[in-house]
Structure 1
Amino acid sequence: MEHGRKELLQKLWAAQDEAYELMAEYDSLPHTYGSVVLYQAEALVVNLIGEHSDITITELGSILKKTASACSQIVRKLKSKGLVEQVRNESNNRQLNLRLTDAGKQIYLDRLSLNLECQNILFRMLQEFSDEEIAHHIAVQERINQAYRGDIDRSKVSVTE
């Protein structure tokens, strides 16, 4: 590999590392919505319940790629904060569906607004780039994501062997 190309790819690797670290830092911070403090994992569950009313803990786990036990723990925290309620399914008495309380719905709406604001800030920052440059970046990012998925798959195989 030619030196200039290798240097560029190393800069790309470093930029990906920095993006990961920034996202991890953001996700680790508590966020306040009115008088309620939520971590990203909790806020994500609020969003999913807001998008999929009557979702079950098992379905949450499937979407989040987490165990039902891990999702139950988050749901318990959200219930104790008065944001989520569990309602017995009328067709299947053994199943509990999740719904947002009025307070949970307000946080869901606040988060939608915050997300839109963050997107708008980013989109304004990217205005200097052409559509072609952004499309090219998407193609590169999709290839990087493909490599990450491969890393995950290889790691799962090596752990189970």
Structure 2
Amino acid sequence: MNREDQVIMGFRDLFNKMVWLNKGKMEDRLKGVTSSEVHCIEYIGNHIDSNVTKLAESFYMTSGAISKMTKKLIQKDLIQSYQKPDNKKEIYFRLTEQGQEIFRIHEELHQEFQERDKAVFEQVTDEQFDSMLRFLERYSKHLDAEIKKQGIDTKPDSE
């Protein structure tokens, strides 16, 4: 296996381990809410005036898929839609009280997971972090360009 394959397999393996380790606690504390729904709630909680377009771009999903998910979240009373007085065309989302509770629990779980993994990150130097972040940015830009080549413009150039 070459080094590129090792890096890709390493990323995949790390991601799968994190998902496996976190899954039980997430499911236990966030009953009745799927992982995708939790991440949608997280995005809405962190971004004012979230709408279908912004969510679709962020999650690399179609607007139709996001519309379905937001309808489910509205039915579960986790988010609500609203319009601005000066723009009756666009529909935005915000968290309900129940949605804010899911958001809070999710944040607590993230902090717990970060605390669990702190021992590893404490050993990483600033130079190593900088190097990893540069690599991730370069690879992400490459993938954005490849997505664009396929005619799928998911992110505005300004991001």
When normalised by structure 2's length, the TM-score is 0.70
The partner residue of 2:52 within 43, 51, 57 is 57
1:85 and 2:84 correspond: no
1:103 and 2:101 correspond: no
Deviates more, 1:35-44 or 1:21-30: 21-30
Whole-Å Cα distance in 1 between the matches of residues 122 and 45 of structure 2?
31
Whole-Å Cα distance in 1 between the matches of residues 4 and 49 of structure 2?
46
- Corresponding pairs, count: 152
* Deviation for aligned residue 1:25: 6.1
* Deviation for aligned residue 1:126: 2.4
- Residue in 2 that maps onto 1:138: 133
Larger RCO: Structure 1 or Structure 2 (Cα < 8 Å, ≥ 6 residues apart)? 2
Secondary structure of 1:99 counterpart: strand
Identity, % of aligned positions: 19
RMSD: 3.4
Whole-Å Cα distance in 2 between the matches of residues 144 and 133 of structure 1?
16
Secondary structure of 1:38 counterpart: coil
Whole-Å Cα distance in 1 between the matches of residues 49 and 4 of structure 2?
46
- Residue in 2 that maps onto 1:3: none
Larger-Rg structure: 1
Within 5 A, what are the aligned runs for 1:16-35? 16-22=11-17, 31-32=26-27, 34=29
Whole-Å Cα distance in 1 between the matches of residues 43 and 145 of structure 2?
27
* Deviation for aligned residue 1:146: 4.6
- Residue in 2 that maps onto 1:37: 32
The one-character-per-residue Cα deviations of 1:75-121 (angstroms, maximum 9, x if unpaired) are 11111222011224322333332121100011111112222222233
Q: Which amino acid aligns with 1:98?
A: F
Q: Which amino acid aligns with 2:34?
A: Y
